[in-house]
Structure 1
């Protein structure tokens, strides 16, 4: 598994690389659990300020690898949730709960889980020829897990049409929908990603943690509560710097 998912520390950046180009960088459920653990561990490392998620080959990630399904079929809904859905949702939760920003760099196609993974990351840099899709409804499979990754990232109507139509959308459309941060020429993708990561790591880690925490928690609040929370969390950080 270490051959398919690689972790390297590059200064203050934890670089996670999916290396399964022969499989379109699809991930088994076991690999998803492992990737989530790597993200959680990197996020807790006080020497790390940003996590980079990239992949090798033509495509970012074509989704979940069906060859990694459990040998025994789940007997009921509870077992199905635990065996099939929990690893996927666990990845989304790992990204959201990581103390520091997770930056995805997307080339080629990002389909199904791959599209959701790109969306759930805090910052997503995409090549101008990248393509995103949620194709599950071609098989009448409601992609509710993938939709959950988009809930706090994307324009609802944009995601709804991606789900119903199963159409691929280009990087500019993904940018307009809100789940891509930057679109750059394919030849400049990794240079721009490096610039983004350098900008993030130039910041104080506590300040990065505070921004991510506020962005995650305030979206569920009414405006007065979000304002109070902003004042309180800022005061706490400022007082701790004295």
Structure 2
């Protein structure tokens, strides 16, 4: 399993550290909201603590296929992100956001027995759950192709920005693979007909159709994407922390309740958040 290598030098600037990464694309040159104070690097994932934002970058260029070890490390990072952050910003290096799941090089062949093989997929299922369970919102920026695992991550993210040139698909059936890992992330985010059409056809859809399907939050002209993402992040971290956490908590829990439970929970969290001292600052 690949582990993060915490080779951090606080005296180095963010740009000089990024320059040492041989594989990091220079595609995204976003404005920093504050002075970055920490870089956590592995070969395939970069994590940067930038003020109250945890910036995560898929860096397995050129295709940004995501391995099980990458998914586990990303899950661990976002589940503890609330300790230092008000949000997670996920983007990618290279031309594509994510071209799907790939096996770790040292994983060996999959088990031929169904019962023993089932846990081999837990890193992927666990990543979808981690994005939902993270206390702070996960904001995703999609450029280029977004396939399979990438489509699922986009769907379960709290807010997602798609470049006007981004495309999305569910390719598994074309490889004679049942796409239930992806579908487990989509079933309550998109309508049934859209999911099945994407799964059966494996066709790519453009960003505007992804917006119509409810897969992404916003579609932004490619030339304006960075500026719009920066604007939103600056706005989000300016909000009172109880509201940031409370909004996600309610939408994580309420949909599983009956109508009366969702109403009662709304009354309780409304009182809790709106009486917090931070809401009055």
TM-score normalised by structure 1 residue count: 0.93
SS at match of 1:219: helix
1:1-242 alignment to 2 at 5 Å? 2-22=42-62, 24-42=63-81, 44-45=82-83, 47-66=84-103, 68=105, 70-83=107-120, 85-241=121-277
Shift of 1:176: 0.6
> What is the alpha-carbon distance in structure 2 between the residues aligned to residue 81 and residue 205 of structure 1?
38
TM-score normalised by structure 2 residue count: 0.80
Distance change (3 Å), C-alpha of 1:133 and 1:201: same
Matched-pair contact (CA < 8 Å) for 2:69–2:104: no
> What is the alpha-carbon distance in structure 2 between the residues aligned to residue 67 and residue 102 of structure 1?
25
* Greater RCO (CA < 8 Å, at least 6 residues apart): 1
Largest Rg, 1 or 2:
2
> What is the alpha-carbon distance in structure 1 between the residues aligned to residue 105 and residue 239 of structure 2?
39
SS at match of 2:247: helix
Across the aligned residues of Structure 1 and Structure 2, the Cα RMSD in angstroms comes to 1.6
SS at match of 1:90: helix
Shift of 1:12: 0.9
- Shifted more, 186-195 versus 128-137: the winner is 186-195
> What is the alpha-carbon distance in structure 2 between the residues aligned to residue 175 and residue 141 of structure 1?
26
- Shifted more, 63-72 versus 74-83: the winner is 63-72
> What is the alpha-carbon distance in structure 1 between the residues aligned to residue 193 and residue 233 of structure 2?
30
Matched-pair contact (CA < 8 Å) for 2:155–2:215: yes
Shift of 1:72: 4.0
SS at match of 1:8: strand
Shift of 1:192: 1.2
- Shifted more, 186-195 versus 147-156: the winner is 147-156
If each structure's helix is expressed as a fraction of its own residues, which one has the higher value?
1
